[in-house]
Chains A and B, each alone.
Chain A
Amino acid sequence: MSTTISSGPPCPAESVWDAVAAGLLKGDEAVTAMEHASNCAVCAQTLREAIEIFAVEEPVTTNVVSIGVRPRLAPAVRWLGIAAALLVAVGVGYLATTQFRSPEPLTLLSSAYTEHRTLDLRLPGASYGVMQLERGGEARKPTHAVEAELAFRSTLERMPNDPGALHAKGRWAILYGTPDDAIVALTASRDATTGKPDAGLLTELAIAWREKGRRSGQAADSLHAIEFLGQALQLDPTNAAALFNRAVVEDELNLWSPAILDLEKLLTVEPSGAWSEETRKRLVEIRRKV
Protein backbone atom coordinates (compact mmCIF):
# COMPACT_ATOMS: atom_id res chain seq x y z
CA MET A 1 0.00 0.00 0.00
CA SER A 2 1.19 3.50 -0.70
CA THR A 3 -0.50 6.73 0.10
CA THR A 4 -1.30 9.96 -1.65
CA ILE A 5 -1.60 12.58 1.05
CA SER A 6 -2.54 15.67 -0.94
CA SER A 7 -3.00 16.72 -4.54
CA GLY A 8 -0.47 19.62 -4.41
CA PRO A 9 1.34 20.91 -7.52
CA PRO A 10 1.22 18.97 -10.80
CA CYS A 11 3.49 15.95 -11.11
CA PRO A 12 6.96 16.60 -12.58
CA ALA A 13 8.06 14.81 -15.75
CA GLU A 14 9.64 11.37 -15.55
CA SER A 15 13.02 12.89 -16.46
CA VAL A 16 12.96 14.88 -13.21
CA TRP A 17 12.88 11.67 -11.20
CA ASP A 18 15.73 10.31 -13.29
CA ALA A 19 17.69 13.47 -12.50
CA VAL A 20 16.96 13.10 -8.77
CA ALA A 21 17.93 9.43 -8.70
CA ALA A 22 21.05 9.97 -10.78
CA GLY A 23 22.18 12.89 -8.60
CA LEU A 24 21.84 15.55 -11.30
CA LEU A 25 19.15 17.54 -9.54
CA LYS A 26 20.52 19.02 -6.32
CA GLY A 27 19.75 21.34 -3.46
CA ASP A 28 16.33 22.96 -3.08
CA GLU A 29 15.14 21.78 -6.47
CA ALA A 30 15.80 18.17 -5.50
CA VAL A 31 14.21 18.60 -2.06
CA THR A 32 11.09 20.19 -3.58
CA ALA A 33 10.75 17.34 -6.04
CA MET A 34 11.25 14.74 -3.31
CA GLU A 35 8.73 16.50 -1.10
CA HIS A 36 6.20 16.13 -3.89
CA ALA A 37 7.04 12.44 -4.32
CA SER A 38 6.76 11.79 -0.60
CA ASN A 39 3.12 12.91 -0.81
CA CYS A 40 2.25 11.47 -4.22
CA ALA A 41 1.99 7.73 -4.73
CA VAL A 42 2.37 7.96 -8.52
CA CYS A 43 5.55 10.04 -8.39
CA ALA A 44 6.88 7.98 -5.47
CA GLN A 45 6.58 4.92 -7.67
CA THR A 46 8.25 6.66 -10.63
CA LEU A 47 11.08 7.81 -8.38
CA ARG A 48 11.41 4.31 -6.95
CA GLU A 49 11.80 2.90 -10.46
CA ALA A 50 14.42 5.55 -11.22
CA ILE A 51 16.29 4.66 -8.02
CA GLU A 52 16.21 1.03 -9.14
CA ILE A 53 17.85 2.03 -12.42
CA PHE A 54 20.50 4.41 -11.12
CA ALA A 55 21.44 2.91 -7.76
CA VAL A 56 25.12 2.10 -7.97
CA GLU A 57 25.84 -1.27 -6.46
CA GLU A 58 29.16 -1.67 -8.15
CA PRO A 59 31.39 1.40 -8.27
CA VAL A 60 31.51 3.14 -11.65
CA THR A 61 34.73 4.84 -12.61
CA THR A 62 34.17 8.57 -13.02
CA ASN A 63 37.71 9.70 -12.51
CA VAL A 64 38.43 9.87 -16.20
CA VAL A 65 41.55 11.93 -15.70
CA SER A 66 43.26 9.06 -13.95
CA ILE A 67 42.50 6.64 -16.74
CA GLY A 68 45.43 6.25 -19.02
CA VAL A 69 46.71 3.61 -21.39
CA ARG A 70 48.62 0.94 -19.55
CA PRO A 71 52.23 0.69 -20.59
CA ARG A 72 52.58 -2.28 -22.88
CA LEU A 73 54.80 -5.08 -21.66
CA ALA A 74 57.41 -6.47 -23.94
CA PRO A 75 55.77 -9.20 -26.08
CA ALA A 76 57.93 -11.98 -24.65
CA VAL A 77 57.07 -11.02 -21.05
CA ARG A 78 53.41 -10.69 -21.94
CA TRP A 79 53.29 -14.12 -23.57
CA LEU A 80 55.19 -15.69 -20.71
CA GLY A 81 52.62 -14.20 -18.34
CA ILE A 82 49.76 -15.51 -20.42
CA ALA A 83 51.37 -18.94 -20.63
CA ALA A 84 51.89 -19.01 -16.86
CA ALA A 85 48.30 -17.95 -16.25
CA LEU A 86 47.10 -20.63 -18.64
CA LEU A 87 49.17 -23.27 -16.86
CA VAL A 88 47.77 -22.22 -13.50
CA ALA A 89 44.23 -22.18 -14.90
CA VAL A 90 44.68 -25.61 -16.47
CA GLY A 91 46.17 -26.92 -13.22
CA VAL A 92 43.38 -25.56 -11.07
CA GLY A 93 40.82 -26.73 -13.63
CA TYR A 94 42.33 -30.22 -13.60
CA LEU A 95 42.24 -30.29 -9.82
CA ALA A 96 38.69 -29.06 -9.81
CA THR A 97 37.50 -31.60 -12.33
CA THR A 98 39.35 -34.56 -10.88
CA GLN A 99 39.64 -34.01 -7.16
CA PHE A 100 36.53 -31.97 -6.63
CA ARG A 101 34.25 -33.15 -9.38
CA SER A 102 31.46 -33.74 -6.93
CA PRO A 103 29.63 -32.80 -4.87
CA GLU A 104 28.80 -29.17 -5.72
CA PRO A 105 30.45 -26.36 -3.71
CA LEU A 106 27.09 -25.30 -2.26
CA THR A 107 26.52 -28.80 -0.94
CA LEU A 108 30.05 -28.93 0.42
CA LEU A 109 29.48 -25.67 2.28
CA SER A 110 26.18 -26.94 3.69
CA SER A 111 28.08 -29.95 5.03
CA ALA A 112 30.78 -27.69 6.44
CA TYR A 113 28.15 -25.57 8.19
CA THR A 114 26.48 -28.60 9.74
CA GLU A 115 29.77 -30.21 10.71
CA HIS A 116 31.05 -27.12 12.48
CA ARG A 117 28.17 -24.68 12.92
CA THR A 118 29.28 -21.25 14.11
CA LEU A 119 26.31 -19.28 12.78
CA ASP A 120 23.13 -19.03 14.82
CA LEU A 121 21.01 -18.46 11.69
CA ARG A 122 19.90 -21.29 9.42
CA LEU A 123 21.67 -21.85 6.14
CA PRO A 124 19.04 -22.82 3.52
CA GLY A 125 19.04 -26.53 2.83
CA ALA A 126 21.61 -27.37 5.48
CA SER A 127 21.03 -30.09 8.05
CA TYR A 128 21.02 -29.29 11.74
CA GLY A 129 24.33 -28.78 13.48
CA VAL A 130 25.07 -28.08 17.11
CA MET A 131 25.94 -24.41 17.57
CA GLN A 132 29.58 -23.79 18.51
CA LEU A 133 31.00 -20.58 19.84
CA GLU A 134 34.03 -20.22 17.57
CA ARG A 135 33.53 -17.36 15.04
CA GLY A 136 35.30 -15.04 12.67
CA GLY A 137 38.85 -15.26 11.41
CA GLU A 138 39.83 -17.81 14.01
CA ALA A 139 37.16 -20.24 12.93
CA ARG A 140 38.50 -23.58 11.81
CA LYS A 141 37.75 -24.31 8.16
CA PRO A 142 36.50 -27.86 7.65
CA THR A 143 37.93 -29.76 4.69
CA HIS A 144 34.61 -29.41 2.89
CA ALA A 145 34.94 -25.62 3.05
CA VAL A 146 38.42 -25.70 1.53
CA GLU A 147 37.22 -28.00 -1.25
CA ALA A 148 34.27 -25.72 -1.94
CA GLU A 149 36.51 -22.66 -2.11
CA LEU A 150 38.78 -24.29 -4.69
CA ALA A 151 35.80 -25.39 -6.73
CA PHE A 152 34.04 -22.01 -6.94
CA ARG A 153 37.31 -20.16 -7.51
CA SER A 154 38.12 -22.45 -10.37
CA THR A 155 34.69 -21.91 -11.91
CA LEU A 156 34.88 -18.15 -11.48
CA GLU A 157 38.24 -18.03 -13.22
CA ARG A 158 36.61 -19.51 -16.30
CA MET A 159 33.16 -17.95 -15.90
CA PRO A 160 33.26 -14.83 -13.68
CA ASN A 161 29.48 -14.39 -13.84
CA ASP A 162 28.47 -17.96 -13.15
CA PRO A 163 25.48 -17.61 -10.77
CA GLY A 164 26.14 -20.90 -8.98
CA ALA A 165 29.79 -20.15 -8.32
CA LEU A 166 28.97 -16.61 -7.18
CA HIS A 167 26.36 -18.07 -4.86
CA ALA A 168 28.92 -20.46 -3.44
CA LYS A 169 31.41 -17.62 -3.04
CA GLY A 170 28.77 -15.66 -1.10
CA ARG A 171 27.92 -18.64 1.09
CA TRP A 172 31.61 -19.20 1.77
CA ALA A 173 32.04 -15.54 2.71
CA ILE A 174 29.09 -15.78 5.13
CA LEU A 175 30.74 -18.66 6.91
CA TYR A 176 34.43 -17.80 6.65
CA GLY A 177 34.82 -14.36 5.10
CA THR A 178 33.23 -10.98 5.61
CA PRO A 179 29.56 -9.95 5.27
CA ASP A 180 30.50 -7.27 2.73
CA ASP A 181 32.14 -9.85 0.47
CA ALA A 182 29.12 -12.10 0.90
CA ILE A 183 26.72 -9.28 -0.06
CA VAL A 184 28.73 -8.44 -3.18
CA ALA A 185 28.92 -12.08 -4.34
CA LEU A 186 25.30 -12.94 -3.54
CA THR A 187 23.99 -9.76 -5.16
CA ALA A 188 26.03 -10.54 -8.27
CA SER A 189 24.62 -14.07 -8.27
CA ARG A 190 21.09 -12.73 -7.96
CA ASP A 191 21.66 -10.25 -10.80
CA ALA A 192 23.23 -12.90 -13.01
CA THR A 193 20.31 -15.26 -12.51
CA THR A 194 17.64 -15.11 -15.17
CA GLY A 195 14.04 -15.21 -13.99
CA LYS A 196 12.93 -14.93 -10.42
CA PRO A 197 15.60 -15.08 -7.74
CA ASP A 198 15.79 -18.18 -5.63
CA ALA A 199 14.28 -17.99 -2.12
CA GLY A 200 17.39 -19.68 -0.71
CA LEU A 201 19.68 -17.10 -2.30
CA LEU A 202 17.60 -14.24 -0.89
CA THR A 203 17.71 -15.90 2.52
CA GLU A 204 21.49 -16.01 2.35
CA LEU A 205 21.61 -12.39 1.23
CA ALA A 206 19.57 -11.62 4.35
CA ILE A 207 22.05 -13.57 6.50
CA ALA A 208 24.89 -11.48 5.06
CA TRP A 209 23.06 -8.21 5.83
CA ARG A 210 22.27 -9.36 9.36
CA GLU A 211 25.89 -10.28 9.95
CA LYS A 212 26.92 -6.92 8.55
CA GLY A 213 24.47 -5.27 10.96
CA ARG A 214 25.92 -7.16 13.89
CA ARG A 215 29.38 -5.91 13.05
CA SER A 216 28.46 -2.33 12.17
CA GLY A 217 25.76 -1.84 14.80
CA GLN A 218 23.57 -0.20 12.16
CA ALA A 219 19.93 -1.14 12.49
CA ALA A 220 19.34 -0.34 8.81
CA ASP A 221 21.39 -3.42 7.91
CA SER A 222 19.06 -5.62 9.95
CA LEU A 223 16.13 -3.97 8.20
CA HIS A 224 17.67 -4.98 4.87
CA ALA A 225 17.86 -8.54 6.22
CA ILE A 226 14.16 -8.46 7.09
CA GLU A 227 13.34 -7.08 3.65
CA PHE A 228 15.19 -9.88 1.87
CA LEU A 229 13.61 -12.51 4.12
CA GLY A 230 10.20 -11.03 3.30
CA GLN A 231 11.02 -11.35 -0.40
CA ALA A 232 12.14 -14.96 0.12
CA LEU A 233 8.91 -15.77 1.94
CA GLN A 234 6.85 -14.18 -0.80
CA LEU A 235 8.46 -16.64 -3.20
CA ASP A 236 8.26 -19.57 -0.79
CA PRO A 237 5.96 -18.90 2.21
CA THR A 238 6.97 -22.12 4.00
CA ASN A 239 10.72 -21.69 3.63
CA ALA A 240 11.92 -22.96 6.99
CA ALA A 241 15.28 -21.17 6.97
CA ALA A 242 13.69 -17.84 6.06
CA LEU A 243 11.02 -18.14 8.78
CA PHE A 244 13.59 -19.11 11.40
CA ASN A 245 16.05 -16.39 10.43
CA ARG A 246 13.42 -13.66 10.25
CA ALA A 247 12.27 -14.58 13.76
CA VAL A 248 15.85 -14.30 15.03
CA VAL A 249 16.38 -10.87 13.43
CA GLU A 250 12.96 -9.63 14.60
CA ASP A 251 13.84 -10.78 18.11
CA GLU A 252 17.08 -8.77 17.91
CA LEU A 253 15.05 -5.71 16.91
CA ASN A 254 12.64 -6.29 19.83
CA LEU A 255 9.85 -7.06 17.38
CA TRP A 256 8.67 -9.97 19.50
CA SER A 257 5.13 -10.41 18.23
CA PRO A 258 6.13 -10.96 14.59
CA ALA A 259 9.02 -13.16 15.79
CA ILE A 260 6.58 -15.37 17.70
CA LEU A 261 4.27 -15.55 14.67
CA ASP A 262 7.14 -16.67 12.44
CA LEU A 263 8.31 -19.35 14.88
CA GLU A 264 4.77 -20.64 15.38
CA LYS A 265 4.31 -20.88 11.63
CA LEU A 266 7.67 -22.64 11.36
CA LEU A 267 6.55 -25.28 13.85
CA THR A 268 3.51 -26.04 11.71
CA VAL A 269 5.78 -26.34 8.67
CA GLU A 270 8.45 -28.33 10.50
CA PRO A 271 6.85 -29.92 13.58
CA SER A 272 9.61 -32.43 14.35
CA GLY A 273 13.34 -32.96 13.96
CA ALA A 274 16.45 -31.36 15.37
CA TRP A 275 15.73 -27.90 13.99
CA SER A 276 12.26 -27.88 15.53
CA GLU A 277 13.79 -28.40 18.97
CA GLU A 278 15.83 -25.25 18.54
CA THR A 279 12.76 -23.43 17.21
CA ARG A 280 10.79 -24.41 20.33
CA LYS A 281 13.58 -23.22 22.63
CA ARG A 282 13.70 -19.85 20.89
CA LEU A 283 9.92 -19.55 21.02
CA VAL A 284 9.93 -20.11 24.78
CA GLU A 285 12.70 -17.52 25.25
CA ILE A 286 10.92 -14.87 23.20
CA ARG A 287 7.55 -15.50 24.89
CA ARG A 288 9.26 -14.86 28.22
CA LYS A 289 10.24 -11.37 27.01
CA VAL A 290 6.74 -10.34 25.98
Chain B
Amino acid sequence: MAAPSLSELYGDCVRSAGHHPSCDEFFRIFRPALTRVARRVAYQYNSPHQAEDAEQEVNLKLLASGETILKRLPAEPVDALAYFSVVAANAARDFFRALGAAKKGSAVTVSIDTQLSALSASLGVSPDVDKSLIIDRINELLPADRREQIAFRFYYYQGYTAKEIAAIPDFGLSVKRGGKYDLPDYQGSPGAFSQ
Protein backbone atom coordinates (compact mmCIF):
# COMPACT_ATOMS: atom_id res chain seq x y z
CA MET B 1 0.00 0.00 0.00
CA ALA B 2 1.30 3.40 -0.94
CA ALA B 3 2.29 5.70 1.89
CA PRO B 4 -0.06 8.66 2.38
CA SER B 5 0.80 11.97 0.76
CA LEU B 6 1.73 15.03 2.76
CA SER B 7 -1.74 16.49 2.13
CA GLU B 8 -3.41 13.30 3.35
CA LEU B 9 -1.28 13.24 6.48
CA TYR B 10 -2.16 16.87 7.13
CA GLY B 11 -5.87 16.23 6.50
CA ASP B 12 -5.93 13.36 9.02
CA CYS B 13 -4.06 15.50 11.49
CA VAL B 14 -6.41 18.48 11.17
CA ARG B 15 -9.57 16.39 11.33
CA SER B 16 -8.37 14.78 14.56
CA ALA B 17 -7.50 18.19 16.04
CA GLY B 18 -3.86 17.18 16.24
CA HIS B 19 -4.37 13.81 17.91
CA HIS B 20 -3.85 11.45 14.95
CA PRO B 21 -0.50 9.66 14.51
CA SER B 22 -0.39 11.31 11.07
CA CYS B 23 0.42 14.57 12.85
CA ASP B 24 3.81 13.23 13.93
CA GLU B 25 4.56 11.97 10.44
CA PHE B 26 3.43 15.23 8.83
CA PHE B 27 5.63 17.36 11.07
CA ARG B 28 8.51 14.92 10.72
CA ILE B 29 8.44 15.41 6.95
CA PHE B 30 7.70 19.11 6.96
CA ARG B 31 9.98 20.04 9.88
CA PRO B 32 13.18 20.69 7.83
CA ALA B 33 11.37 23.14 5.52
CA LEU B 34 9.48 24.66 8.43
CA THR B 35 12.64 25.17 10.48
CA ARG B 36 14.45 26.71 7.54
CA VAL B 37 11.62 29.12 6.77
CA ALA B 38 11.20 30.14 10.42
CA ARG B 39 14.94 30.62 10.82
CA ARG B 40 15.23 32.77 7.70
CA VAL B 41 12.23 34.93 8.59
CA ALA B 42 13.65 35.36 12.10
CA TYR B 43 16.94 36.45 10.55
CA GLN B 44 15.13 39.02 8.39
CA TYR B 45 13.56 40.44 11.53
CA ASN B 46 16.89 40.57 13.36
CA SER B 47 15.60 37.98 15.80
CA PRO B 48 17.44 34.71 15.14
CA HIS B 49 17.18 33.85 18.84
CA GLN B 50 13.37 33.70 18.44
CA ALA B 51 13.36 31.31 15.50
CA GLU B 52 12.12 28.44 17.67
CA ASP B 53 9.26 30.55 19.03
CA ALA B 54 8.29 31.44 15.47
CA GLU B 55 8.41 27.77 14.52
CA GLN B 56 6.09 26.94 17.41
CA GLU B 57 3.74 29.69 16.28
CA VAL B 58 3.68 28.19 12.79
CA ASN B 59 2.84 24.77 14.25
CA LEU B 60 -0.14 26.27 16.05
CA LYS B 61 -1.25 28.18 12.96
CA LEU B 62 -1.11 25.03 10.84
CA LEU B 63 -3.42 23.27 13.27
CA ALA B 64 -5.71 26.22 14.09
CA SER B 65 -6.33 27.18 10.45
CA GLY B 66 -6.40 23.61 9.21
CA GLU B 67 -9.78 23.67 7.47
CA THR B 68 -8.98 26.88 5.56
CA ILE B 69 -5.57 25.57 4.53
CA LEU B 70 -7.05 22.23 3.43
CA LYS B 71 -9.50 23.99 1.09
CA ARG B 72 -6.68 25.77 -0.71
CA LEU B 73 -4.09 23.01 -0.61
CA PRO B 74 -2.77 22.14 -4.10
CA ALA B 75 -3.04 18.51 -5.15
CA GLU B 76 0.54 18.09 -6.37
CA PRO B 77 2.88 17.02 -3.52
CA VAL B 78 5.57 19.51 -4.55
CA ASP B 79 3.03 22.34 -4.69
CA ALA B 80 1.56 21.26 -1.38
CA LEU B 81 4.95 21.50 0.27
CA ALA B 82 5.44 24.94 -1.32
CA TYR B 83 2.02 26.00 -0.07
CA PHE B 84 2.79 24.86 3.49
CA SER B 85 6.06 26.81 3.28
CA VAL B 86 4.23 29.96 2.18
CA VAL B 87 1.76 29.54 5.07
CA ALA B 88 4.70 29.06 7.42
CA ALA B 89 6.43 32.21 6.17
CA ASN B 90 3.23 34.26 6.59
CA ALA B 91 2.66 32.96 10.10
CA ALA B 92 6.28 33.60 11.07
CA ARG B 93 6.12 37.16 9.71
CA ASP B 94 2.86 37.78 11.60
CA PHE B 95 4.57 36.53 14.74
CA PHE B 96 7.46 38.98 14.43
CA ARG B 97 5.21 41.86 13.40
CA ALA B 98 3.07 41.25 16.46
CA LEU B 99 6.22 41.48 18.54
CA GLY B 100 7.02 44.79 16.88
CA ALA B 101 10.32 43.46 15.50
CA ALA B 102 11.85 45.66 12.80
CA LYS B 103 12.94 44.16 9.52
CA LYS B 104 16.60 44.49 8.77
CA GLY B 105 17.91 46.24 5.66
CA SER B 106 18.20 44.64 2.28
CA ALA B 107 20.47 41.68 1.82
CA VAL B 108 24.03 42.25 0.72
CA THR B 109 24.18 41.83 -3.03
CA VAL B 110 26.17 43.11 -5.97
CA SER B 111 25.28 46.77 -6.31
CA ILE B 112 23.96 48.08 -9.59
CA ASP B 113 26.67 50.75 -9.47
CA THR B 114 29.29 48.03 -9.71
CA GLN B 115 27.40 46.33 -12.52
CA LEU B 116 26.97 49.55 -14.46
CA SER B 117 30.60 50.56 -14.01
CA ALA B 118 31.74 47.21 -15.36
CA LEU B 119 29.26 47.48 -18.20
CA SER B 120 30.21 50.98 -19.22
CA ALA B 121 33.44 49.77 -20.79
CA SER B 122 31.59 47.14 -22.86
CA LEU B 123 29.09 49.72 -24.03
CA GLY B 124 31.76 52.15 -25.11
CA VAL B 125 30.74 54.91 -22.72
CA SER B 126 32.70 56.69 -20.02
CA PRO B 127 32.41 55.17 -16.53
CA ASP B 128 31.40 58.60 -15.28
CA VAL B 129 28.56 59.01 -17.74
CA ASP B 130 25.07 59.46 -16.30
CA LYS B 131 23.66 56.08 -15.30
CA SER B 132 20.37 56.77 -17.02
CA LEU B 133 22.23 56.90 -20.34
CA ILE B 134 23.68 53.46 -19.70
CA ILE B 135 20.22 52.16 -18.76
CA ASP B 136 18.80 53.64 -21.98
CA ARG B 137 21.54 51.88 -23.93
CA ILE B 138 20.68 48.58 -22.21
CA ASN B 139 17.00 49.11 -23.03
CA GLU B 140 17.86 49.47 -26.71
CA LEU B 141 19.73 46.19 -26.62
CA LEU B 142 17.29 44.11 -24.58
CA PRO B 143 16.49 40.70 -26.07
CA ALA B 144 12.99 40.07 -27.43
CA ASP B 145 12.10 37.29 -25.01
CA ARG B 146 10.02 38.51 -22.07
CA ARG B 147 11.77 36.39 -19.48
CA GLU B 148 15.19 37.45 -20.71
CA GLN B 149 14.15 41.07 -20.43
CA ILE B 150 13.03 40.44 -16.86
CA ALA B 151 16.36 38.79 -16.06
CA PHE B 152 18.25 41.78 -17.46
CA ARG B 153 16.15 44.23 -15.49
CA PHE B 154 16.52 42.23 -12.30
CA TYR B 155 20.27 42.17 -12.78
CA TYR B 156 20.97 45.69 -14.00
CA TYR B 157 18.14 47.74 -12.55
CA GLN B 158 17.42 46.02 -9.26
CA GLY B 159 20.91 44.75 -8.46
CA TYR B 160 19.88 41.09 -8.24
CA THR B 161 22.66 38.56 -8.27
CA ALA B 162 22.78 35.71 -10.78
CA LYS B 163 22.12 33.35 -7.88
CA GLU B 164 19.00 35.22 -6.82
CA ILE B 165 17.61 35.21 -10.35
CA ALA B 166 18.35 31.54 -10.77
CA ALA B 167 16.62 30.81 -7.44
CA ILE B 168 13.21 31.89 -8.78
CA PRO B 169 11.58 28.51 -9.47
CA ASP B 170 9.41 29.42 -12.46
CA PHE B 171 12.12 31.30 -14.23
CA GLY B 172 13.58 28.33 -16.05
CA LEU B 173 16.88 30.17 -16.12
CA SER B 174 20.15 28.41 -16.68
CA VAL B 175 23.40 30.26 -16.48
CA LYS B 176 26.11 28.70 -18.54
CA ARG B 177 29.24 29.77 -20.29
CA GLY B 178 28.58 31.14 -23.73
CA GLY B 179 24.88 31.46 -22.90
CA LYS B 180 22.65 34.47 -22.87
CA TYR B 181 23.41 35.25 -19.24
CA ASP B 182 27.14 34.91 -19.55
CA LEU B 183 27.56 38.40 -18.15
CA PRO B 184 31.33 38.55 -17.89
CA ASP B 185 31.61 37.99 -21.62
CA TYR B 186 29.37 40.97 -22.19
CA GLN B 187 31.55 42.96 -19.85
CA GLY B 188 34.78 41.90 -21.43
CA SER B 189 33.79 42.04 -25.05
CA PRO B 190 32.82 45.46 -26.41
CA GLY B 191 29.74 45.31 -28.55
CA ALA B 192 28.78 41.84 -27.39
CA PHE B 193 25.27 43.03 -26.61
CA SER B 194 24.51 43.56 -30.23
CA GLN B 195 25.65 40.11 -31.29
Contacts and interface: CB of A to CB of B under 8 A. Distances in A.
Interface of A: 1-3, 5, 14-15, 18-27, 30-31, 34-35, 37-39, 41, 44-45, 47-55, 58, 60-68, 194, 217-220, 222-224, 226-227, 230-231, 234, 253-255, 257-258
B177 A25 contact: no
A18 B89 contact: yes
A22 B86 contact: yes
B41 to A, nearest CB: 6
Nearest to A217: B177
Given A31-B146, A31-B170, 15 more contacts: A1-B112, A14-B93, A18-B89, A34-B171, A35-B146, A38-B154, A44-B154, A60-B36, A62-B6, A64-B29, A66-B3, A219-B185, A227-B109, A230-B108, A255-B188
B52 interface: no
A255 B187 contact: yes
B169 interface: yes
A216 to B, nearest CB: 8
A255 to B, nearest CB: 6
Nearest to B88: A53
A52 B4 CA distance: 30
A64 B187 contact: no
B186 to A, nearest CB: 10
B2 interface: yes
B63 interface: no
Nearest to A60: B33
B158 A3 contact: yes
A194 B177 CA distance: 36
A228 to B, nearest CB: 10
B83 A44 contact: no
Contact of B183 (A219, A231, A234): A219
Contacts of B74: 24
A5 B83 CA distance: 31
Contacts, number: 185
Contacts of A14: 93
B111 to A, nearest CB: 6
21 contacts: A2-B112, A5-B157, A21-B167, A23-B78, A23-B170, A27-B170, A31-B147, A38-B150, A38-B154, A38-B157, A45-B106, A48-B106, A48-B109, A49-B44, A54-B82, A58-B32, A64-B29, A220-B162, A220-B166, A220-B176, A220-B181
A227 to B, nearest CB: 6
Nearest to A230: B110
A65 B5 contact: yes
Given A2-B158, A53-B37, A227 B81 contact: no
Q: Is the interface of A mostly helix, strand, loop or mixed?
A: helix
A180 to B, nearest CB: 15
B3 A60 contact: no
Contact of A223 (B6, B36, B168, B184): B184
B83 A3 contact: no
Among the interface residues B78, B109, B158, B175, which one has the most CB atoms of the partner chain A within 10 A? B158
B32 to A, nearest CB: 6
Contacts of A227: 109-110, 161, 163
B29 A61 contact: yes
B37 A67 contact: no
A63 B6 CA distance: 9
Contact of B81 (A5, A15, A62, A223): A62
Nearest to B151: A38
B173 to A, nearest CB: 10
A230 B115 CA distance: 13
Given A1-B113, A53-B41, A254-B184, A194 B167 contact: no
